């Protein structure tokens, strides 16, 4: 068994707002292993972004607060580090790629400069031309054409897809051991999405960095990830490797997510959304947060009163947080054929 | 970049002409230049008639504008209809004095205002922030003439009570003292303070707002995620971007500053272009009034042009329009 | 301001959805004006400003009831008295014995009349012009915008002074007219900007597709969205108008005595610099009025601006 690069245990993050305390992340535990791509799926407000932003100290700490937990990066607890130490980790050992490339780059500074900044911050003694060469190489690696001239351009002269490639290049500049991509393709056109995902794939293979890919798009997860976590209302509700989860999901929410996707190869009359709305994170439903919308619950007392714990289902690595996941045994998702055909 | 500048300059030229034409038309339509002369019984009607023909006052306005325009370039804004003295020397002299006061006060106001704005934004909700936000609210609400009067009364009081002249409360300087002598500085200190306080309120408020706007931007988050030291994030990413709108604010403030100059020069009896304007206006000396309007319009247009170019220099997105 | 927030419901309510309501997951339906009102009321400064304005402007409106004397009542036995409670001379008396408190109160009335009328008329006119320019675009827009641009390049106070000098001074209403004639340009620009941006919005296209005429689109769909900026700008204009009128009067080109305006009072105080109350009280009143107006304006801007930034969870 490999040692995990990142090991998060019992992380809880809350935000103080005018309307009350928002429990954005509620007691989550997961590991990321070297070289793998871990997907985190969930709706907006599920806490998927907050969990990664908080361990890097990127959430504003006045309204936000890390209530409890540990986040061990190669043995060192990120949550206990002083600001200076944490800054050294950011951009060097752990790097982030953000969602909106239009606004994630400083519009008045040249692209080459901003990429170089990522390197010079951690290796200030490197001579300028070495840095410049490295930046140009990085741009070439991610597929930006004419990297030598693009180096001197401003972000608004790049297209959306190219900007995201530049962001990816910037993140791997110091060969991080952990890469966190927070919805990297959500703001892009579908065709560009495919290209950027390919770049991400290439980059991961080149650097062998462990990658966390946060998204709400199941298709992206299916295509890119080795393992996946499903989050709902600040908790992890299911985890396991991609093939198992897509073939035989064991949590009603995951099933609902998959059922709501239209399938190209079948004739469907109606779409099947999950009924109801995501819960308020201030007034969470008691017990299992999903029970008001759950088809399996049927109003049972245990669902309303007890918070389900992640426990192993059929395989030891496949876990689900549902009191009645056993009742789902034998059920296959509508994607099981696709999985079997190896199209995933 | 050069094409950007060239385009801006070319655009300004017709604006200059239309602006001066509008001022000219407005003043000419509303007032009869010879009205005051006619009221003086000692000037014979013949003389007045000759004056009228000499100054083309019997022709249509566009024609008069044309002659006046020629005057501007050849005879430097012509002569006053009342005093028969050339206008230009008065304008240059007074404009120089006003420029001295405005330059000093604006530079101070921008430096202090930007600095306070930065600190207020970084330490939002701190005592410093609340204190200076209140100060800027107050400065924003204070009428220039009242602040000038208060300062004047205060320092007159100090002189009367303790016989010590810290700052002079009227006049430009005592005789035989130069433009940058201590004596001159003592004289212009109060008007400079007045204008500075009012402008400071403006700049600190806008800088703080601009900083807060930028602080929550995604690219600031990216900079932090790269591991940059906080002061670098502030200076290189936040302040650099937050300063850009201030250029526009400064340019737009010029009009208000000239108005403030009129007021402060009147209160402190300074020989500046604002005081000159008020005196000529009270005397209904139309050509002089016109000269003032034209000169100030030109100054404003030129400064707007400079601000535009500066903006293009600071924000690369604008250059490619 | 046309779309209320509604809790999303799946088609065909089932028992699952009912339990959603029971579990307290629904969002209460509120109109936009409701939200705006709540946001405004949470703004303590704005409430303070509003209270202050009510008191000060109220004093002005009811001047004949509140002021102990008329503004021109001369009492030569009592000249240049400092503030005192004797004879209700709270603000003292001036150089010919007139009660200063009364004069300030009457001055407030004059100033507030000028401020409110200027703000109202310039807002109305600016709205009309800006709407036409922004909606129809083309050469109308160009012409109007070049014009307002030009107005911006002129030194404001100087133009107002010149206009006052040439068109006649002294009357409160002449000054009001001159100020309004200058102020509408600012509001027109703002309105035009809003119209321009909203013209391209999808719901305008939808209305057009459904056959709505130009006027209807302008009134029902775009106009409500401009109300926010107009209200804010109009409020702030009251303060600016009052200060500008005071400056004009102070320099002798605005309202002339005997009509008291706060600017006239400050001007008159210049002959007696030692009697501090003559300068301080009217000036302080102006500062208080403008402060309150700005607080209220800020509160309104926060309340009515839909682009509020919220914390990202």
The string of pLDDT tens digits covering residues A145-178 is 999 999 999 999 999 889 999 999 999 999 999 9
- Chains with 3 or more CB pairs under 8 A to chain C: A, B
State percent of chain A over pLDDT 90.
42
Region of poorest pLDDT, from B20-29, B143-152, C248-257:
B20-29
Q: What is the pLDDT of residue C4?
A: 39
Task: Give the whole-number percent of chain B exceeding pLDDT 90.
Answer: 30
DSSP β-ladder status, A227-232 and A178-182? unpaired
**CA distance to partner chain A, nearest, from residue C7 (Å):** 8
Least confident of A15-19, A339-343, C74-78: A339-343
- The mean per-residue pLDDT over the stretch A116-122 comes to 92
pLDDT of residue B81: 59
C154-186 residue pLDDT tens: 788 888 888 888 776 667 888 888 899 888 888
Q: Is B125 exposed, middle or buried (0-12, 13-18, 19+ CB in 10 A)?
A: exposed
- What confidence category does residue A230 fall into, taking pLDDT thresholds of 50, 70 and 90? very high
pLDDT score, position C2: 40
Interface check for A98 against chain B (CB to CB < 8 A): the answer is: yes
C203 against A295, higher pLDDT = A295
* Interatomic CA distance for residues C90 and C109, integer angstroms: 18
Task: Answer whether A254's CB lies under 8 Å from A238's CB.
Answer: yes
- Between A and B, how many CB-CB pairs are < 8 A? 75
Q: What is the mean pLDDT of residues B111-125?
A: 91
pLDDT(C6) > 60: no
**B25 near A CB under 8 A:** no
**What is the reported pLDDT for C18?**
46
Q: What is the mean pLDDT of residues C128-134?
A: 83
**Residues of B with CB below 8 A from A107's CB?**
219, 241, 315-317
Instruction: Return phi, psi of residue C308, to 5°.
Output: -65, 140
Mean of pLDDT over chain C: 77
Check residues A77 and B312 and name the one with the higher pLDDT. A77
Q: Residue B227 and residue A89: Cβ atoms within 8 Å? A: yes
Residue C242 pLDDT: 92
Closest CA to C295 of C113, C43, C112: C43
pLDDT > 90: percent of chain C: 12
Strand partners, A66: A13
Lowest mean pLDDT among A200-209, B193-202, C186-195: C186-195
Residue B316 has pLDDT above 60, yes or no: yes
A162 vs A322: CA distance, rounded Å: 42
Token pair of B134 as six digits: 């209140």
> What confidence category does residue C278 fall into, taking pLDDT thresholds of 50, 70 and 90?
confident
Among A38-52, A309-323, B302-316, C48-62, the range scoring the smallest mean pLDDT is A309-323
Alpha-carbon gap: A170 to the closest alpha carbon of chain B (Å): 9
C:6-65 residues touching chain A, CB 8 A cutoff: 7-8, 10, 14-17, 19-20, 23-25
When pLDDT is averaged across residues B136-153 and rounded to a whole number, the result is 90
Beta bridge partners of A324: none
* Beta strands across the sheet bearing A227-232: A94-97, A178-182, A210-215, A37-41, A227-232, A235-241, A319-320, A311-312
- Choose the weakest-confidence range: B36-45, B112-121, B198-207: B36-45
Which among C150, C159, C309 has the least Cβ separation from residue B15? C150
Residue A41: CB atoms within 10 A of its CB come to 24
Q: What is the DSSP string of A67-125?
A: EEEEEEETTEEGGGS-HHHHHHHBTTTEEEE-S-TTTSS-TTS-HHHHHHHHHHHH-TT
Residue A308 φ/ψ, nearest 5 degrees:
-70, 145
Of B263, B283, B282, B281, which is closest to residue B272 (Cα–Cα)?
B263
Q: Tokens 């099981």 belong to which residue? A: A336
pLDDT at C311: 28
Q: What is the pLDDT of residue C215?
A: 67
Mutation choice for A interface testing from B1, B126, B219 by most A CBs within 10 A: B219
Kindly state the average pLDDT of the residues C105-124. 91
The average pLDDT across B286-297 equals 83
Confidence of residue A61 (pLDDT cuts 50, 70, 90): confident
Find the helix or strand (DSSP H, E) in which B128 lies.
Answer: helix B127-141
- Residue B78 is predicted with a pLDDT of 62
**A70 beta partners:** A9
The more confidently predicted of residues C292 and B172 is C292
Helices (H), C137-218: 138-153, 156-167, 172-199, 202-209, 214-216
Return the higher-pLDDT residue of B240 and C82: B240
Q: How many CA atoms lie within 13 A of C223 on its CB side?
A: 13
Q: What is the pLDDT of residue B118?
A: 93
What was the pLDDT predicted at C272? 80
Residue in the block written with tokens 């050509």: B287
Task: Give me A119's structure tokens.
Answer: 């390197």
Share of chain C above pLDDT 70, in %: 78
Sign of CA dihedral C106, C111, C117, C120: negative
Q: How far is B237 from chain A (nearest CA, A)?
A: 7
In this predicted structure, the answer to whether residue B215 has a pLDDT above a threshold of 70 is yes
Listed range (A160-174, A229-243, B35-49, B231-245) with the worst mean pLDDT = B35-49
Please report, for residues A74, B166, B268, the alpha-carbon distance to residue B163 in angstroms, rounded to integers and kept in the order given. 75, 10, 20
Is residue B163 over pLDDT 50? yes
Round the average pLDDT of chain B to a whole number and report it. 83
Instruction: Please state the separation of Cα B270 from the chain's center in Å.
Output: 15
Q: Does A91 touch chain B (CB under 8 A)?
A: yes
What DSSP element (H or E) covers A73? strand A64-73
- pLDDT at position B57: 66
Instruction: Name the residue facing B146 among C153, C161, C286 (closest C-beta).
Output: C286
Taking an 8 Å cut-off on Cβ atoms, the answer to whether A283 and C24 are in contact is yes
User: Are A285 and C23 an interchain contact pair (Cβ–Cβ within 8 Å)?
Assistant: yes
Range name among A90-94, A153-157, A217-221, C37-41 with the lowest pLDDT average: C37-41
pLDDT at B187 over 90: no
Q: With bands split at pLDDT 50, 70 and 90, how would you rate the model's confidence at C198?
A: confident
pLDDT of res. C309: 39
User: What integer best gives the mean pLDDT of chain A?
Assistant: 87
Q: Do residues B12 and B301 touch, judged by C-beta distance below 8 A?
A: yes
Pairing of strands A235-241, A227-232: antiparallel
Tell me the whole-structure pTM to 2 decimals: 0.82
- Closest Cα in chain B to A114: B223
Beta-carbon count within 10 A of C112 CB: 23
What element of type H or E holds A66? Answer: strand A64-73
Condensed to tens digits (0 to 9), the pLDDT of residues C36-94 reads 777 777 777 788 888 888 888 888 888 777 777 776 777 766 677 677 766 667 777 77
pLDDT at A178: 93
Does C25 score more than 60 pLDDT?
Answer: no
Q: Which residue has the tokens 């609400």?
A: B141
B321: tokens are 């329009």
Alpha-carbon span B236 to B233, nearest angstrom: 6
pLDDT tens-digit series, residues B52-64 = 666 666 667 777 7
Nearest-neighbour CA in chain C from A22: distance (Å): 8
Q: Which of A92, A100, A107 sits opposite B317 (nearest CB)?
A: A107
Q: Please report the pLDDT score of residue A258 as a whole number.
A: 84
Average pLDDT on B132-152 reads 90
- Other C-beta atoms closer than 10 Å to the C-beta of C140 total 14
| CA pair distance A11, A30, nearest whole angstrom | 9
Residue with the larger pLDDT of the pair C42 and A202? A202
- Give the mean pLDDT of A85-101: 91
pLDDT band at B84 (very low <50, low <70, confident <90, very high): low
What per-residue string of b and e applies to B50-66 under the rule 16 or more CB within 10 Å gives b? ebbeebebeeeeeebbe
How many beta carbons lie within 10 A of that of residue A205, not counting itself?
A: 10
Looking at per-residue confidence, does C173 or C306 come out higher?
C173
Give pLDDT, residue B31. 59
**H helix intervals, chain C:** 15-22, 32-42, 44-61, 63-66, 100-136, 138-153, 156-167, 172-199, 202-209, 214-216, 223-251, 262-269, 276-304
Contacts B140 to C, Cβ<8 Å = 290, 294
Give the residue on A whose Cα is nearest the Cα of C22.
Answer: A292
Contact C162 B293 (CB under 8 A): yes
pLDDT at C20 (0 to 100): 43
Q: Which residue has the higher pLDDT, A108 or C228?
A: A108
Residue A340 pLDDT > 60: no
In the numeric block, which tokens belong to residue A325?
């996941």
């Amino acid at each position: 068994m490999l040692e995990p690069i990142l090991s998060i245990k019992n992380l809880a993050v809350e935000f103080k707002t005018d309307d009350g305390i928002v429990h954005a992340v509620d007691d989550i535990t997961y590991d990321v292993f070297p070289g793998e791509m871990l997907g985190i799926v969930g709706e907006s407000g599920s806490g998927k972004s907050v969990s990664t932003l908080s361990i890097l100290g990127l959430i504003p700490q006045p309204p936000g607060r890390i209530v409890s937990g540990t986040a061990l990066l190669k043995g060192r607890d990120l949550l206990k580090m002083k600001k200076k130490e944490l800054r050294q980790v950011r951009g060097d050992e752990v790097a982030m790629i953000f969602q909106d490339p239009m606004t994630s780059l400083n519009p008045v500074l040249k692209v080459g400069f901003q990429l170089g900044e990522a390197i010079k911050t951690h290796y200030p003694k490197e001579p300028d031309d070495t840095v410049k060469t490295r930046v140009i190489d990085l741009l070439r690696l991610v597929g930006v054409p004419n990297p030598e001239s693009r180096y001197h351009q401003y972000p608004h002269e790049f297209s959306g897809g190219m900007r995201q490639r530049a962001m990816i290049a910037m993140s791997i500049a110091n060969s991080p051991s952990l890469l966190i991509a927070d919805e990297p393709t959500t703001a892009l056109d579908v065709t560009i999405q495919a290209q950027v995902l390919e770049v991400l794939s290439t980059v991961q293979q080149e650097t062998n960095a462990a990658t966390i890919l946060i998204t709400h798009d199941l298709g992206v997860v299916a295509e890119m990830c080795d393992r996946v976590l499903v989050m709902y209302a600040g908790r992890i509700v299911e985890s396991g490797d991609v093939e198992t989860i897509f073939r035989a999901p064991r949590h009603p929410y995951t099933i609902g997510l998959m059922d709501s996707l239209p399938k190209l190869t079948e004739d469907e009359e109606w779409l099947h959304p999950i009924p109801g709305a995501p819960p308020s994170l201030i007034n969470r439903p008691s017990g299992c947060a999903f029970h008001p919308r759950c088809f399996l619950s049927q109003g049972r007392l245990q669902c309303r009163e007890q918070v389900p714990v992640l426990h192993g289902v059929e395989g030891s690595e496949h876990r689900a947080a549902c009191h009645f996941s056993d009742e789902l045994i034998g059920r296959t998702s509508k994607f099981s054929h696709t999985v079997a055909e190896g199209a995933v | 970049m050069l094409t950007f500048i060239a385009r801006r300059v070319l655009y300004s030229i017709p604006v200059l002409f239309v602006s001066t034409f509008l001022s000219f038309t407005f003043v000419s339509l509303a007032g009869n230049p010879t009205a005051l002369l006619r009221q003086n019984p000692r000037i014979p009607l013949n003389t007045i008639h000759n004056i009228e023909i000499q100054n083309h006052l019997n022709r249509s306005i566009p024609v008069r504008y044309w002659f006046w325009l020629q005057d501007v370039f050849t005879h430097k804004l012509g002569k006053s209809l009342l005093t028969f003295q050339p206008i230009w020397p008065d304008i240059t002299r007074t404009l120089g004095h006003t420029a001295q006061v405005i330059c000093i006060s604006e530079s101070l106001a921008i430096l202090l205002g930007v600095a306070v704005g930065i600190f207020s934004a970084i330490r939002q909700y701190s005592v410093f922030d609340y204190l200076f936000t209140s100060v800027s609210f107050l400065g924003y609400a204070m009428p220039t003439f009242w602040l000038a009067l208060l300062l004047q009364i205060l320092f007159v009081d100090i002189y009367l009570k303790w016989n010590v002249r810290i700052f002079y409360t009227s006049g430009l300087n005592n005789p035989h003292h130069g433009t940058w002598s201590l004596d001159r500085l003592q004289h212009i200190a109060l008007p400079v303070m007045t204008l500075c306080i009012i402008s400071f309120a403006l700049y600190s408020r806008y800088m703080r707002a601009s900083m807060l706007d930028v602080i929550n931007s995604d690219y600031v988050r990216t900079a932090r995620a790269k591991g940059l030291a906080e002061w670098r994030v502030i200076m290189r990413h936040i302040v650099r971007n937050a300063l850009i709108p201030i250029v526009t604010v400064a340019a737009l403030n010029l009009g208000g500053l000239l108005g403030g100059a009129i007021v402060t020069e009147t209160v402190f009896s300074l020989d500046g272009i604002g005081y000159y304007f008020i005196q000529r206006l009270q005397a209904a000396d139309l050509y002089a009034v016109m000269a003032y309007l034209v000169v100030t319009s030109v100054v404003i247009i030129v400064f707007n042009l400079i601000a535009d170019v500066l903006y293009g220099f600071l924000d690369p997105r604008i250059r490619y329009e | 301001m046309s779309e209320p927030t509604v809790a999303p419901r799946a088609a065909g309510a089932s028992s699952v959805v009912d339990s959603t309501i029971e579990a307290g997951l629904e969002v209460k339906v509120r109109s936009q004006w409701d939200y705006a009102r709540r946001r405004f009321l949470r703004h303590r400064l704005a409430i303070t400003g509003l209270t202050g304005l009510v008191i000060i402007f109220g004093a002005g409106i009811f001047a004949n009831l509140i002021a102990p004397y008329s503004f021109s009542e001369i009492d030569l036995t009592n000249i240049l008295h400092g503030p005192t409670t004797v004879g209700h001379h709270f603000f003292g008396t001036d150089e010919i014995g007139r009660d200063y408190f009364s004069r300030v109160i009457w001055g407030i009335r004059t100033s507030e009349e000028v401020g409110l009328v200027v703000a109202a008329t310039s807002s109305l006119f600016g709205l009309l012009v800006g709407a036409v320019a922004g909606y129809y675009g083309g050469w109308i827009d160009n012409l109007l915008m070049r014009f307002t641009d030009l107005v911006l390049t002129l030194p404001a106070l100087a133009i107002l002074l010149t206009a006052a000098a040439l068109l006649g001074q002294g009357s409160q209403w002449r000054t009001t007219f001159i100020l309004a004639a200058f102020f509408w340009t600012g509001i027109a620009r703002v309105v035009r900007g809003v119209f321009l941006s909203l013209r391209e919005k999808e719901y305008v296209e939808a209305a057009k597709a459904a056959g709505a005429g130009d006027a209807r689109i302008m009134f029902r769909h775009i106009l409500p969205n401009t109300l926010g900026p107009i209200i804010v700008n109009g409020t702030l204009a009251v303060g600016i108008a009052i200060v500008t009128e005071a400056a004009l009067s102070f320099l002798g080109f605005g309202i002339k005595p005997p009509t008291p305006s706060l600017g006239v009072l400050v001007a008159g105080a210049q002959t007696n610099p030692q009697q501090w109350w003559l300068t301080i009280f009217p000036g302080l009143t102006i500062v208080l009025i403008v402060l309150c107006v700005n607080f209220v304006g800020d509160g309104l801007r926060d309340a009515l601006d839909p682009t509020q930034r919220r914390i990202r969870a």
